[in-house]
A and B are shown apart, each in its own frame.
Chain A
Amino acid sequence: MSQPIKCSLCEEAATVHLSQVVHSKVTKVHLCEACAQKGGATDPAVFQLADALTTASPAPTLTCPKCGFTDIDFRKRGRLGCPSCWETFGDALGGLLLKVQHEASHVGRAPAGTLPAGQLRRRLDDARREMEKAIIGEDYEAAARLRDEIAGLEQQLAHS
C-alpha cells in the first residue's frame, strides 16, 4: 500500500485535498481534518494563507524580537503575534499580502494625530520623485518649486 499523504501543516494523514488556481497557476494543498477546519479551508479568503504557507521552510528562520513569535508559528496559525511582527515578517509576508489583498500599502484613514505625519511623509516621497523627474526633463522651474516644497515639508515633519 502506498504511504498516505501527510498534512501540509502537521504530521497527520491528510484527508482534505484542495487545488486552487491563483493567477492561472495551480497549487495543491493536502490537509488533515483539524488543520482544514482551523485554516478555514471553506473560506477562500483565509484559505489562501494555508496555500502560501506550504512553501515556507520547516525550521524557524525569523523570530519577532518583541514577542518571540516565529515564522513557524505563523505557519501553524495564519495569524501574527503582535503589531511588531509586521516589521519582522514584513518582507516575508509581501507575497502573501499581494495574494490576499492584491495591494501592498495602505491608503486609508489613520489614527487622529498620526495622519498629518503620515501624509507629509508620503507627499515628501512623491515630491522628491517628481523633482528628480523634473531635473531629468530639464524643467528647472518645476524642480525649483518642488525643492522649496520639499524644504517646507521637511521642516513641518521635524516639528510634527
Chain B
Amino acid sequence: MSSVEDILAAENELTHLLGAQQAVVLSTRIRLARNLDGMPFPGWAKVPQRKEISDRCVEALDALPKFRRGHVLRMGELGDRDRAVLVERHLVSKELAAGKSGAAVISRDQTCSVMVNEEDHLRIQVVKAGWHLRGTWHIAEQLDDALGGSLKLAFSDRLGYLTACPTNVGTGLRASAMVHLPGLCLAGHMDKVSRALNQDGLAVRGWLGEGTEAAGNVFQISNQQTLGLSEEAILKHLGGWIKNVVEQEWNARRKLAQEEGEKFVDRLARSLGLLRSARLLTSSEAMNMLSHLRLACDMGCLPEERRHLVDRLMIEGQPAHVQARAGQELDSDGRDRRRAAVVREALKDFPEVVPPTA
C-alpha cells in the first residue's frame, strides 16, 4: 500500500471522528514558516542545495515523536493523482505538489504536516477539526520548539523568523479557520462581512486557499500581518473575529429559517433528494448541496451525528479523491458518475429533513 493510499484509508478527525465536528467552524489551522540558517531559500537554491535542505529537514522531523509511524512523502516520487489527493486534503499546497524537490512529513493522525522546500524550507502545519485555536497553537508551538532544538533556524532579533517572502517575516504565523457560512451567503451578506474582515487585516479565501472559489459556502479566514504583532496578539485578533462571524452566521440562519419557514426546509430537503437520486454529480454541485445538508445537521433538520459524514463527503467528493477511490483515472463524466454513486450510497439511510429546532 502506498503512503497516500494509507492516508486515504486511515480514519482521521476531519473525516471520521464523531463529535469532533462543530457547526460553522470546520477546522482550525496554524501554519509556521521557518528556514534553516545559512541556506538559500528553496526558490533560489540550486538542486544539490535543495537536496541537502530536504535531507536535513526530513531527518530532523522524522526523529520527532510526533511523526512516529507517520509518512514521509517526496513529491518527485509520487504520481499526479497522489499529489492531487494531498492537495485536496490540505496536507500540502498546490505549490509544493507542483515541484519535484518538495517533501511532506505527515503525522499518523494527519493533524500535523510539515512541508519541506515549499516557498520556505519548513512550513509547519497543524489542523484540528472544529474551533480549537489554543489547542492547535500549542501543538504547533511544541513542534516549533522541538525543531528549533535540532535545527538552527534563521532568526534575527529585529525581524524575527526570516522568510523568503516579506509577507511572512516575523512570527511566520498564519492562523486560520475554515468556516461554513451558508446563512450569510443566502442572506447576501458575505461581501459585506468579507470587506469588514479585509479592512481589519484578515484575508478571506475559498476552500482550497489562495485564488480559489468558495465552493459549498466554505471560506478560509486568516491573519495577514506577521510582523510587529506577537503570536498571542495575532491569535486573539483572529479569535475575536471568528467568534463574531460565527454569531453573525447564526443570526442569519435563524432569521432565514424564521422568515422563510417552509421554504427554508424545502430547500434543504430538495438538496437531500437531489443528492440521493442524481446519477451525474459535478464537484461544485455536490459541494453546494452538501453545504445545505451540513446546514440541516446544524439546525436540527437532520440528526447532528450525521454531520461528520457530510464533512467526509465534501472532502472525498473532490476529483482526485473520487479517482483514487475508483482506483483509476476517470474523465469528467466518469468522475461525475462515480461521485454520484458514492454520495447516493452514503446517504441512502439518511432520515428525512424535518423543520429546524435550533
Interface residues of A (CB under 8 A from B): 40, 42-46, 49, 66-67, 69, 73, 77-84, 86-87, 90, 93, 96-97, 100-114, 117-118, 121-122
Contact = CB atoms under 8 A, between A and B. Distances in A.
Given A101-B225, A110-B160, A118-B157, A82 B39 contact: yes
7 closest Cβ contacts across the A-B interface? A103-B228, A106-B160, A83-B154, A111-B148, A81-B44, A101-B227, A108-B171
Given A67-B44, A80-B164, A114-B157, 17 more contacts: A80-B44, A97-B227, A100-B166, A101-B225, A103-B170, A104-B227, A106-B159, A106-B161, A106-B169, A107-B230, A108-B171, A108-B173, A108-B231, A109-B160, A111-B152, A112-B149, A118-B157
B224 interface: yes
Contacts of A80: 41, 44, 164-166
B180 to A, nearest CB: 23
Interface of B: 35, 37-41, 43-44, 119, 141, 144-145, 148-149, 152-162, 164-167, 169-171, 173, 198, 203, 210-211, 224-231
A105 B159 contact: yes
Contacts of B231: 108-109
A27 B148 CA distance: 41
A40 B212 CA distance: 12
B40 to A, nearest CB: 4
Contact of A101 (B149, B157, B210, B228): B228
Contacts of A117: 157
B140 to A, nearest CB: 11
Nearest to A107: B230
Contacts of B40: 67, 69, 81-82
Nearest to B151: A111
Q: Is the interface of B mostly helix, strand, loop or mixed?
A: loop
A80 B198 CA distance: 26
Contacts of B160: 106, 108-110
Q: Is the interface of A mostly helix, strand, loop or mixed?
A: loop
B166 A40 contact: no
Contacts of A106: 156-161, 169-171, 227-228
Contacts of B165: 46, 78-80
Contacts of B173: 108
Contact of A44 (B44, B144, B198, B228): B198
A111 B153 contact: yes
5 contacts: A40-B210, A79-B44, A83-B154, A93-B166, A97-B166
A127 to B, nearest CB: 16
Given A43-B211, A82-B39, A102-B225, A108 B162 contact: no
Contacts of B119: 79
A87 B162 CA distance: 10
Nearest to B157: A118
Contacts of A42: 211
Contact of B38 (A44, A81, A83, A90): A83
Contacts of A66: 38
Contacts of A111: 148, 152-153, 155
A69 B44 CA distance: 8
A96 B44 contact: no
Contacts of B161: 106
B157 A86 contact: no
A100 B167 contact: yes
Contacts of A102: 225, 228
